[in-house]
Amino acid sequence: MSDLTLEGDRAGESDLFQEWSNTRPTAPLNRERQHSSLSDLPKAGMVAVSKDGVKSGGGTPPLGGSIAKMNSSSSVSGLGASAAPTTSTAPSTSKTNSTPKMPYVTLGQSGLRVSRLGLGSFLTFQNQFGAEKAYLLMRRAYALGINFFDNAEVYAKGGSERVMGDAVARGVLDNVWSRGDLVICTKLFYGTREGPNQKGLSRKHILEGLRASLGRLKMEYVDIVMAHRPDPETPMEETVRAFAHVIDKGQALYWGTSEWSALEIFQACSIADKLGLPRPITEQPEYNVFSRQRVEVLPIARFPLSYSHSD
């Protein structure tokens, strides 16, 4: 992860954290501030999506979006003030989710609606169990209202995507869901094997990596493709253009980032605006009980971006 921060160094962040700790209210923090976002369910499986989502943020253009994933809610579509999150509950129809209690929120400043909770596959799919258990887990999650499922090319070196693809295909055959009922996310950067062009965010790897992911998932498109990490060796414009290209080709509907600094997100949004290309709509920072600063203490300098757990 890049060491770049929008303002201040680590020592400064510690001072801010101490100041926040001394002044925070005794009541639970209000998580209803930003836009909606996905949460990537790190290592375990289920992850909560709060309405907080902020990734790095500020309130001035050109960033104007919010970055999201599932532990907070905002997204990168524009850095200005983010709209209040829109929430709905799971429909109680037979084929769609039968439990009407799961809230749905819009992902960042997009129109994509995701469940407040999501199911991720890191360390579980392929590594701990295969397609049968993965299918039962996804089916149970879907029955409880979850429509967001997260993956990455590097998980089990592509094996996690194969397992999820098999599970999704089986659910379609069993008439549990249709492809349109699900929001599928995968991430690119690390690749699945060694080679000079087998990782990173070059146009070559983004195009070839996503094509390979779609093959393993047995899908024509993913709803969201994320840059799993920033790539300082590739010009930002090349990365932005490459993600815009796969969106234009219908291989992905939106793109986002994971573990990017505020400055990197700002640069990506600025370039996208200048070129008239899609901005990232979601960011997945590290967020857990031991690592809370980026979401709770340093709302990345006021940018309304969506937050989520990172792996």
The pLDDT tens digits for 277-295 are 999 999 988 888 888 877 7
Alpha helices in 31-182 (DSSP H): 131-143, 159-173
Q: For position 87, what pLDDT does the model report?
A: 60
Cβ neighbours of residue 9 under 8 Å, at least 6 residues apart?
A: none
Domain boundaries, the chain: 33-302
Contact 108, 65 (CB under 8 A): yes
Around 99, how many Cα atoms within 13 Å sit in the side-chain half-sphere? 14
- pTM for the model: 0.68
Q: For position 288, what pLDDT does the model report?
A: 83
Query: What is the identity of the amino acid at 161?
Result: E
The pLDDT tens digits for 193-240 are 899 999 999 999 999 999 999 999 999 999 999 999 999 999 999 999
d(CA 225, CA 255): 5
Backbone angles phi, psi at 250, to 5 degrees: 80, 15
Query: What is the identity of the amino acid at 145?
Result: G
DSSP 3-state of 174 = coil
Q: Per CATH, is 33-302 categorized as 3.20.20.100?
A: yes
Whether 104 sits among the annotated catalytic residues: the reply is no
Q: For position 44, what pLDDT does the model report?
A: 37
d(CA 255, CA 280): 5
Contact 255, 221 (CB under 8 A): no
- Choice among 135, 155, 287, 307 that is catalytic: 155
Largest CA distance in the chain: 55
State the chain's mean pLDDT as an integer: 75
The pLDDT tens digits for 164-180 are 999 999 999 999 999 99
